[in-house]
Every structure is written in structure tokens, then in C-alpha cells.
Structure 1
């Protein structure tokens, strides 16, 4: 009986010690690429404006959800931000979680954002929340968002 418990215990340790979900080198690379693209996207939004950044990183058929409505397509996204942003607006975000599909074609991120603007009275207004972005690898290997 004691031998059976020892064998069972050893088998349990071996099973639990194996990590079937260890990331492959490719998966680690894809995760790093998506995290880097998020950082570059955030930097472009800060340095070049929201319209340029959201237009640049969108696929042609990307969708945003803003103000309880959908904004569909890159051109509509650019037009939305051209109408609804100004130089005194600042949007910063950082993903707290990044994941990618096993084949490296789709990924997603989520984390916190902080939106700051100066209102008409000169007072700074801040809004914070959670973002979720879905990324798709393009034929040229770049990542572009399909949902934000």
C-alpha cells in the first residue's frame, strides 16, 4: 500500500511539474510584437494626434465602439477623431494583459486608459477606464486592430 502511495505521489509530481502551456519561441515573439505595437500606437497618439494614430493602426474594416455606437472602417474612424479631438487632449494607455492565438494571426490586449483634456473653462478633465483591443496580423507581418 505504501508503495502505491509513493508511485501515485511521484506520478502526481511529474504531471503537475509539466507545463503543457509553456510558450513556444514563436508565441513569445508574437506576444512581444503585440505589446510593442500597443506602445508605438500610444506614442503616435500622444505625439501625432488621435486621428492619425487610430487611422494608421486600423485595418480597413476596423470597428470602434464610442459613445454607445459603432464607428466602422478606417475612414470613418479618422473622421470621428478629426471631429472629436483637439491638441489639448491626451490619451494614454498600457496593456495589463496580452494574448495571441496559437497560430499567431489574432491577438488581444486589455488594460487601463487615462484620457485628459482641457475644457472650455481651462480646467483639466480626466476620465479613466478599461480598454480592450483585438489585433490581427496582416499579410506583411504587421499588426493592426480590428476592434477597439
Structure 2
């Protein structure tokens, strides 16, 4: 009987952890929206605030970028280059409690180098982390373009 009670306690403890962020899908969706809005307004500092302070970003054709300040610099470079209309779409979201894994797609519009604009797109993976207040931040971010 003692083993049965320990098993029930373990199941209850695990269930409590699993539901610690029951609204994570909605909370992450809201964070994705504010991320897009910050980028569309040209506010790289606000974009960077969506990342953990020790985040790692793996952007195409660049070395790994570590930390919120360096990540802000990358997003500022995109803003300065004239990239606009960033649209993010979550395809899969796996809630792991205090972390979540997201797979998604993106589209954006960028200068084509000839005075015009071109639409581009791709896919991404983000590992999200919830802080002590339950606010979700991008912790690991990687993307690449779709041919």
C-alpha cells in the first residue's frame, strides 16, 4: 500500500508541474503578437525585451549571437536594412511546463537591392522560457529561409 501512495503523490506532483502554466499557448501567442508589433514599429529594443537576458540566437549567415544586447543589435540591423511586414505563424507548440518548444513559419518583406521590395519566408524553432512571473521569453531562436 505504501508504494501505491508514493505513486499517487508522484502523479499529483507531476500534474501540478505540468499545469503550472496552463495558459502558455495563449500567453505565447500574445508574446508573438507583441514581438511582431515591436518589429513592425521599428523598435529593436522592444523586440530584444522578448528574449531572456542569456538568450542565444542562430540567424542565417551569422555567427551565434548571445545575450539580449547583441540580439537587439541584430534586429536593429534588420530594421535599418528596411525589412518590414514580419508575420510569424505558430505551426506546433509543445508545452513542457516552464519551457515550451515552438515550430513556426515566417514571412517578411525586404529590399531586393534594385530599389524594389521582395517577399521572403522561412521556418523557425524557438525554445521559450517562463520567468518567475510567468512571462514567456525567447531563450533559443533559430530560423532559415525556405528556397
- How high is the TM-score relative to the length of structure 1? 0.72
Say whether residues 1:124 and 2:124 are aligned partners.
no
Residue 36 of structure 1, aligned match among 6, 25, 30 = 30
Residue 79 of structure 2, aligned match among 82, 85, 107 = 85
Q: CA deviation at 1:106?
A: 0.2
Q: CA deviation at 1:112?
A: 0.8
In the alignment of these two chains, the number of paired residues is: 122
RMSD across aligned positions (CA) = 2.1
- How high is the TM-score relative to the length of structure 2? 0.72
Aligned counterparts of 1:29 and 1:79: Cα–Cα separation in 2? 31
The structure having more radius of gyration, on CA atoms, is 1
Check the 8 A contact 2:93/2:102 in 1, yes or no: yes
Q: CA deviation at 1:85?
A: 2.8
**1:32-71 paired onto structure 2 within 5 Å:** 32-49=26-43, 51-66=44-59, 67-71=61-65
Say whether residues 1:113 and 2:106 are aligned partners.
yes
- Where structure 1 has 5 or more consecutive residues not aligned to the other structure, the ranges are 1-23
Check the 8 A contact 1:45/1:54 in 2, yes or no: yes
Aligned to 1:94: 89
Q: CA deviation at 1:86?
A: 2.3
- Where structure 2 has 5 or more consecutive residues not aligned to the other structure, the ranges are 1-17, 142-147
Aligned counterparts of 2:65 and 2:19: Cα–Cα separation in 1? 36
Aligned counterparts of 2:21 and 2:129: Cα–Cα separation in 1? 14
